[in-house]
Structure 1
Amino acid sequence: MPPKRQPILPIPSTTDLIALTLTLQPESDFRAPTHYTTELHSWFLNQVRLTNPELSAYLHDGQSEKAFSLSSITGNLQSQNRSITFSTTEQYQWSIAALTQSVCDWLQNWLRKPPQTIQLRSGIFKIQSWQISLPATTYETIWSAAENPSQTELSLTFTTPTSFRKRSNHMPLPIPENIFQSYLRRWNDFAHLEFELEEFREWINECVVILRHDIRSLKTQAGKQGSVTGFVGAVQFGLTPKAKNEPEYVQLIHSLIACAPYFGTGHKVTFGLGQTQAGWFVDRAIEKDVKPTQVERPIEKKVKPTQSDRPKVKPIQSEVSHRQNELKEFFFSRKKRRGGERAEKAAEVWAAIVARQEAGKTIPEIAAELELAYDTVKQYSKRARKVLEEG
């Protein structure tokens, strides 16, 4: 029997973010490898390719951050010997999140006549129904709401193993810098309001702390090439008193928390890792002896920044030093936020990178000279060139 047709829910044409959850039932019992999420990933991209090849190519390899996230299959899963058994007596759920307007538009069109089955290499699922699991919204709406957030608690619950890439290794810990910079990379790619990653990371390290957590490590198969150790559980973050000196970053933190359920956290979010909920959703029985208000914030020493605390930009050759000074003034004049030292320091680093590039140096050489990460120099160079082109 074909799945019952459902009324098409209107998705506004301006939608940037939305998530859909499908209810699935196997056509017959079958066993799938633990890395079955690679099959779901391929099936989804093929669905896009059938109706919009250009969008499919973009989603596959057209940008640094993927404009969608996919969950793993949830339900009563039976695993044994590196395989999972799906039974016809059970129903399962699978979610798709769209992170840009173009993917939301495709999803809306796809829902007009969705397929009746998901045919994987391992077996076939019948699509019984679907529902909107995360509401349609826009980045602008999220940003505006974060100015005066209704919920001030900064908690996240990680429902599938979450991990980060750190120097070619996995980092299975909820370090604030790693968590929020993973969101900001997606925000900068898809939202219309962009923030400097290095400046934001510095603020995170100074102003965001972990108030409490209930996490554990969990190993999972993230692809054919091997397993990944991640963490699951809940974390509550807090802001130090110093955070209020940068109200725009406070607003950004609340915006990123709101985006986290759509984005997913960390890497391999298109293969089911890093599924995230906004809020604290673990067993509260462990908290009966300790209330959040009893957790002490760290005591900060008020130390006036010294020159040694600031990023050092090594001297450049005399013949291009004048150009670096010109670039610094230009970049600083284009900064929207010129208060404090952050904007000036960012302009100085941008100028140092571009001046060295104009002098014929490569990005690896510049990274070594400035003692910055290669990816940081590459990103700064790209943004600086864009600002130069815009004048």
Structure 2
Amino acid sequence: MLQKFRFTLACTEPGTVRGLGGLELHALFFSFLREVEEEAARELHGAKDKPFALGPLEGAGERRGGSFYLQAGEKYGFTVTSLTGAMYRLLEEVAALWPGREVQLGTGALACVDAGTTRAEDLNYRDLVARARPATTVTLEFLTPTSFRQRGTQILFPLPEYVFGSLRQRWNAHGPIRLPEDLDLSLIQVARYRARTQLVPFNRYKIVGFTGTCTYQVPKKVPDFVPWLLAVLADYAEFAGVGYKTTMGMGVVRRW
């Protein structure tokens, strides 16, 4: 089941989180998961390819020195997307527990206000396949810093084989319909892009990622299914995220 949940909090005591707040939100989310189903939380924590993506902390506050300063009286929110039916059910249970709880986030204190889905309808993988219209060009916007790791090196450019390779890997890990893994995705071309790098601080390390937009195009002499595959994966990006640390606020993407 493909769905996006939004969780809202109100700051009762000011404080800070590092960078995007992804590490702190990840820990908070798993504390709720353990309450809902401890064994499932343990399995999720150890999974190599997790069936969810978690967005950054959003709301008013100053960003300075690698920290996000939370202000008392302000509301904040973040999203979590589900990539499987089991994850969707866990998120429903977390959302039911959410209202009225008081939590610590970084050095701040917050009250959990409400939680629920952001889309009017639930989608599944077959829905995305059925709705996809072959596209010779697609544009993706990288809303939060995005990065790829290759043999210990970070890749800071939206290369098609990394962007769509990341999406294909997640699709095949969690979806019921397998996409061809033998297709060389580097045949997809970058038509134009506008991007900049941004440093994301975590507690003990920092990661550099890129934000911006990139338009991809399919050359003329490719297998007939490639434009369809491009469209399917571009639509999937909204749910799966792209690249490294998508469960900690990085790699949030949408299709233009």
Q: TM-score, normalised by structure 1?
A: 0.61
Q: CA deviation at 1:35?
A: 6.8
Structure 1 stretches of 4+ with a deviation exceeding 4 A read none
- After superposition, the C-alpha distances for 1:83-105 in whole angstroms (9 at most, x for unaligned) are 32100243222111111110101
Which of the numbers 198, 205, 214 marks the counterpart of 1:226? 205
Name the structure 2 match of 1:186.
Answer: 170
Correspondence 1:122 to 2:107: yes
Correspondence 1:79 to 2:68: no
Residues in 2 aligned to 1:94 and 1:118: alpha-carbon distance in whole angstroms: 14
**Structure of greater relative contact order (alpha carbons < 8 Å, 6+ residues apart):** 2
8 Å Cα contact 2:10-2:112 kept in structure 1: yes
- After superposition, the C-alpha distances for 1:161-206 in whole angstroms (9 at most, x for unaligned) are 0000022011111000000000011001111122343x22x1x222
8 Å Cα contact 2:11-2:70 kept in structure 1: yes
8 Å Cα contact 2:196-2:212 kept in structure 1: yes
Amino acid at match of 1:205: S
- After superposition, the C-alpha distances for 1:109-139 in whole angstroms (9 at most, x for unaligned) are 3333424234334222223333423452101
Amino acid at match of 2:33: V
Q: CA deviation at 1:145?
A: 1.3
8 Å Cα contact 1:35-1:224 kept in structure 2: no
Residues in 2 aligned to 1:82 and 1:211: alpha-carbon distance in whole angstroms: 33
Name the structure 1 match of 2:245.
Answer: 268
Taking structure 1 as reference, are residues 34 and 111 closer, same or farther at Cα in structure 2, changes over 3 Å only?
closer
Name the structure 2 match of 1:386.
Answer: none
* 1:27 match: secondary structure: strand
Which of the numbers 100, 107, 127 marks the counterpart of 1:141? 127
Q: CA deviation at 1:51?
A: 1.5
Residues in 2 aligned to 1:238 and 1:152: alpha-carbon distance in whole angstroms: 5
Amino acid at match of 2:248: F
Correspondence 1:256 to 2:233: yes
Range 126-135 or range 70-79, more displaced: 126-135
* 2:140 match: secondary structure: strand
Residues in 2 aligned to 1:152 and 1:88: alpha-carbon distance in whole angstroms: 48
8 Å Cα contact 2:192-2:215 kept in structure 1: yes
Residues in 2 aligned to 1:51 and 1:90: alpha-carbon distance in whole angstroms: 28
Percent identity between the two aligned chains: 24
Q: CA deviation at 1:155?
A: 1.1
Residues in 2 aligned to 1:109 and 1:142: alpha-carbon distance in whole angstroms: 25
Name the structure 2 match of 1:49.
Answer: 34
* 2:158 match: secondary structure: coil
Structure number with the higher strand fraction is 2
Q: CA deviation at 1:225?
A: 3.1
Name the structure 2 match of 1:246.
Answer: 224
Q: CA deviation at 1:251?
A: 2.1
Residues in 2 aligned to 1:113 and 1:82: alpha-carbon distance in whole angstroms: 31
Taking structure 1 as reference, are residues 137 and 152 closer, same or farther at Cα in structure 2, changes over 3 Å only?
farther
Residues in 1 aligned to 2:58 and 2:82: alpha-carbon distance in whole angstroms: 19
Amino acid at match of 1:240: P
Output aligned runs, 1:1-391, within 5 Å: 16-34=1-19, 36-62=21-47, 64-116=48-100, 117-134=102-119, 135-146=121-132, 148=133, 153-197=137-181, 199-200=182-183, 202=184, 204-206=185-187, 208-221=188-201, 223-243=202-222, 245-247=223-225, 249-279=226-256
* 1:242 match: secondary structure: coil
Residues in 2 aligned to 1:34 and 1:255: alpha-carbon distance in whole angstroms: 31
8 Å Cα contact 1:76-1:90 kept in structure 2: yes
User: What stretches of structure 2 of length at least 5 have no aligned partner?
Assistant: none
8 Å Cα contact 2:20-2:68 kept in structure 1: no
Taking structure 1 as reference, are residues 35 and 95 closer, same or farther at Cα in structure 2, changes over 3 Å only?
closer
* 1:140 match: secondary structure: helix
- After superposition, the C-alpha distances for 1:191-222 in whole angstroms (9 at most, x for unaligned) are 1122343x22x1x222x11112111111111x
* 1:39 match: secondary structure: helix
Q: TM-score, normalised by structure 2?
A: 0.91
Residues in 1 aligned to 2:179 and 2:212: alpha-carbon distance in whole angstroms: 29
* 1:192 match: secondary structure: coil
Considering only aligned residues, what root-mean-square deviation do their CA atoms show, in Å? 2.0
Structure number with the higher helix fraction is 1
Residues in 2 aligned to 1:77 and 1:152: alpha-carbon distance in whole angstroms: 41
Q: Which has the larger radius of gyration?
A: 1
Residues in 2 aligned to 1:104 and 1:152: alpha-carbon distance in whole angstroms: 32
Amino acid at match of 1:220: V
Taking structure 1 as reference, are residues 152 and 241 closer, same or farther at Cα in structure 2, changes over 3 Å only?
closer
